[in-house]
């Protein structure tokens, strides 16, 4: 179409559209992102320490890599979670004593309050199934 026809049809050709300027990232935002990245790396190292301490096995049902137990199917890497024994919303800290390795199904059961986990993960955990 010619420009005259485009004007009559009130259509702007793509070559004449104005591009929006991308806002520049402030120094405060960059600092916040760097702090978050550093915290994420620290938590990933802590999570790996907890997984190694627990032998990559669930502390509730005992299921581990290639091991079939309570739930009847082998566990895979992405089914392993680091669970806060004392929830962060209740003042729990990011420490190995407050983190336990649990499988996906047990983690769901804990948050559904079918399983209660308490104690110190570095020493011994008290695990109770609720009826």
Asked, for residue 3, whether it belongs to a domain, the answer is no
Computed over every residue of the chain, the mean pLDDT equals: 81
Asked, for residue 61, whether it belongs to a domain, the answer is yes
**Percentage of the chain exceeding pLDDT 70:** 75
Could you give the C-alpha distances from 31 to 27, 35, 49, 92, in angstroms and in order?
Answer: 6, 6, 27, 26
Query: Apex CA 26: angle with CA 94 and CA 30, to 5°?
Result: 30
Which two three-digit tokens encode residue 131?
């009826």
Q: Compute the distance between CA of residue 111 and CA of residue 76 in angstroms, rounded to an integer.
A: 21
Asked, for residue 6, whether it belongs to a domain, the answer is no
Asked, for residue 59, whether it belongs to a domain, the answer is yes
Provide the CA 107 distance to its chain's centre, in angstroms: 13
Asked, for residue 38, whether it belongs to a domain, the answer is yes
What domain range is 79 assigned to? 29-129
The tally of domains found in the chain comes to: 1
Residues 4-10, mean pLDDT to the nearest whole number: 61
Which two three-digit tokens encode residue 27?
């120094």
Asked, for residue 14, whether it belongs to a domain, the answer is no
Per-residue model confidence as pLDDT tens digits over 71-117: 555 555 568 889 999 988 999 999 999 999 998 899 999 999 999 99
Asked, for residue 17, whether it belongs to a domain, the answer is no
Asked, for residue 5, whether it belongs to a domain, the answer is no
Bridge partners of 127, per DSSP, are 117
CB 73 within 8 A of CB 60: no
């Amino acid at each position: 179409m010619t420009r005259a026809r485009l004007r009559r049809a009130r259509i702007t050709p793509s070559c004449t559209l104005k591009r929006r300027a991308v806002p520049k990232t402030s120094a405060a935002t960059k600092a916040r992102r760097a702090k978050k990245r550093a915290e994420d790396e620290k938590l990933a190292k802590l999570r790996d320490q907890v997984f190694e301490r627990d032998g990559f096995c669930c502390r509730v049902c005992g299921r581990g890599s290639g091991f079939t137990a309570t739930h009847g199917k082998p566990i895979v890497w992405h089914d392993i979670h680091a669970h806060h024994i004392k929830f962060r919303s209740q003042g729990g800290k990011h420490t190995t004593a407050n983190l336990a390795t649990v499988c996906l199904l047990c983690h769901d059961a804990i948050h559904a309050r079918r399983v209660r986990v308490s104690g110190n993960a570095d020493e011994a955990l008290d695990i109770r199934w609720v009826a």
